[in-house]
């Protein structure tokens, strides 16, 4: 894994997502402070990719306390956004499996830039492996054409899950 982008994100416009926040909510049970995606551009089973984004505002729960006076998005929330994106992929492409996709592991994570209120990050997940109870993605977060986070994540399907929708 290097710093080469998985895709060119310059053509994605957050004002024109394929799935808005309501579409995201139809795929994930996360709500309130734990909604880490604002919308989805693509869920592509053929290319085995999901592309989404998050608009970070001054109202985010972490702004007040994570570096007061110069708020900085906690890196773990970037990982959570990528995990939620992977779960959207699984719920969309493998609807019949049901359950809840929970983050199980992260590997090879590198942070390469700061994200602050007012920024919009485009997140990209590329499927590496999937089985009925396991998913593995390579992920990246891109801000203004620059990779700000990258790594690999593993999720596992948990049978007893909250309903989506």
What positions carry a catalytic annotation? 66
Which residue, among 142, 109, 115, 126, has the nearest Cα to 8 in the 3D structure? Answer: 142
CA separation for the pair 66, 74 (Å, rounded): 7
Are the CB atoms for 149 and 77 separated by under 8 Å? no
3-state secondary structure of 19: strand
Which residue, among 92, 102, 85, 87, has the nearest Cα to 159 in the 3D structure? Answer: 102
Are the CB atoms for 81 and 53 separated by under 8 Å? no
Which residue, among 121, 116, 109, has the nearest Cα to 53 in the 3D structure? Answer: 121
The count of other CB atoms within 10 Å of the CB of residue 16 is 9
CA separation for the pair 109, 89 (Å, rounded): 20
């Amino acid at each position: 894994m290097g710093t080469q982008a998985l895709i060119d994100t310059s053509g994605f416009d957050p004002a024109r997502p394929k799935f808005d926040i309501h579409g995201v909510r139809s795929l994930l049970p996360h709500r309130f402070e734990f909604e880490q995606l604002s919308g989805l551009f693509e869920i592509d089973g053929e290319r085995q990719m999901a592309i989404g984004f998050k608009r970070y505002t001054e109202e985010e729960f972490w702004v007040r306390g994570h570096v007061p006076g110069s708020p900085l998005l906690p890196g773990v929330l970037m990982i959570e956004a990528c995990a939620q994106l992977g779960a959207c992929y699984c719920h969309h492409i493998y609807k019949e499996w049901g359950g809840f996709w929970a983050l199980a592991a992260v590997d090879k994570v590198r942070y390469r830039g700061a994200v602050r209120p007012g920024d919009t990050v485009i997140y990209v997940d590329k499927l590496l492996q999937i089985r009925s109870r396991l998913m593995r993605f390579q992920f990246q977060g891109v801000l203004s054409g620059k990779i700000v986070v990258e790594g690999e994540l593993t999720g596992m399907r948990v049978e007893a899950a909250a309903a989506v929708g």
